[in-house]
Structure 1
Amino acid sequence: MQQTIVVPQRDLRPFLTLMATAAAAVFAWLAVSTELGYSPAVYDPAVTAWAVQARHALVTAVAWPLTHLGGTLGLTLLTLTMCAFLLLRGHWRRALVLAGAMLGSSLLTVVLKLVFARARPSTALLLGEPASSWSFPSGHSFNTGVFVGVLAGFALVSTASPTRKVLATVAACLAATAVGLSRVYLAYHWLTDVLAGWAIALVWLCVVGIVALTVLRPRQE
Structure 2
Amino acid sequence: MDSEPQPWAEPSAASPQGAAPREGREDNQAVPYGAVHTESRSTGRPAHTPRDARNGDHQGRPGALPPAPGRLPRVLARPAVPAVLALVLLLVSWQVAVDGPGPLLELDHWVRHAVRETRHALHSALLNHLGKAFSDLGGGSVAVPVLLLGGAVAARREFRAGFARWWLPVPVAVLTAGLIPLLVVPAKAWFARPGPFGLPLAADQWGWYPSGHTATATLGYGVAALLLARTAAPRGRRALAALATLLAVGVGLGLVWSDYHWLLDVVASWCLGGLVLWTLARWPLTGRLSPRRRHPER
Quickly name the TM-score band, shorter chain normalised: 0.7 to 0.9
Task: Specify the SS of the correspondent of 1:92.
Answer: coil
Distance 1:219 1:106 in 2: 32
Deviates further, 192-201 or 40-49 = 40-49
Distance 2:192 2:237 in 1: 38
Any gaps of 5 or more consecutive residues in structure 2? Answer: 1-68, 160-165, 291-298
Distance 2:146 2:226 in 1: 17
Please, which of 46, 49, 67 is the counterpart of residue 113 of structure 2? Answer: 49
Q: Is the 8 A contact 1:33 1:41 kept in 2?
A: yes
Task: Specify the SS of the correspondent of 2:106.
Answer: helix
Inter-CA distance 185–133: structure 2 relative to 1 (3 Å threshold):
farther
Map of 1:186 onto structure 2: 258
Any gaps of 5 or more consecutive residues in structure 1? Answer: 1-8, 125-130
Residue 118 (1) aligns with residue 187 (2): no
Q: How does 1:29-178 map to 2 (within 5 A)?
A: 29-36=91-98, 37-55=101-119, 56-89=124-157, 90=159, 91-122=166-197, 132-161=205-234, 163-178=235-250
Q: Is the 8 A contact 2:151 2:224 kept in 1?
A: no
Identity of aligned residues (%): 25
* Aligned residue identity for 2:103: S
Inter-CA distance 132–72: structure 2 relative to 1 (3 Å threshold):
farther
* Aligned residue identity for 1:219: R
Distance 1:173 1:166 in 2: 11
Shift of 1:16: 7.0
Distance 1:98 1:39 in 2: 38
Distance 1:195 1:77 in 2: 24
Inter-CA distance 111–219: structure 2 relative to 1 (3 Å threshold):
farther
Shift of 1:75: 2.0
Distance 2:148 2:222 in 1: 16
Deviates further, 33-42 or 15-24 = 15-24
Shift of 1:150: 1.4
Map of 1:6 onto structure 2: none
Q: Is the 8 A contact 1:17 1:206 kept in 2?
A: no
Q: Residues 103-128 of structure 1: CA distance to partner in whole angstroms, max 9, x if unpaired?
A: 1122111111122221111079xxxx
Distance 2:278 2:289 in 1: 22
Shift of 1:44: 1.4
Shift of 1:99: 1.9
TM-score (norm 1): 0.77
Deviates further, 61-70 or 47-56 = 47-56
Q: Is the 8 A contact 1:118 1:135 kept in 2?
A: yes
Shift of 1:194: 0.5
Distance 2:94 2:198 in 1: 24
Map of 1:202 onto structure 2: 274
Higher relative contact order (CA 8 A, sep 6+): 1
Please, which of 13, 16, 26 is the counterpart of residue 88 of structure 2? Answer: 26
TM-score (norm 2): 0.59
Inter-CA distance 201–42: structure 2 relative to 1 (3 Å threshold):
same
Q: Is the 8 A contact 2:92 2:264 kept in 1?
A: yes
Q: Residues 159-189 of structure 1: CA distance to partner in whole angstroms, max 9, x if unpaired?
A: 512x322222222211110000111111111
Q: How does 1:9-20 map to 2 (within 5 A)?
A: 15=77, 18-20=80-82
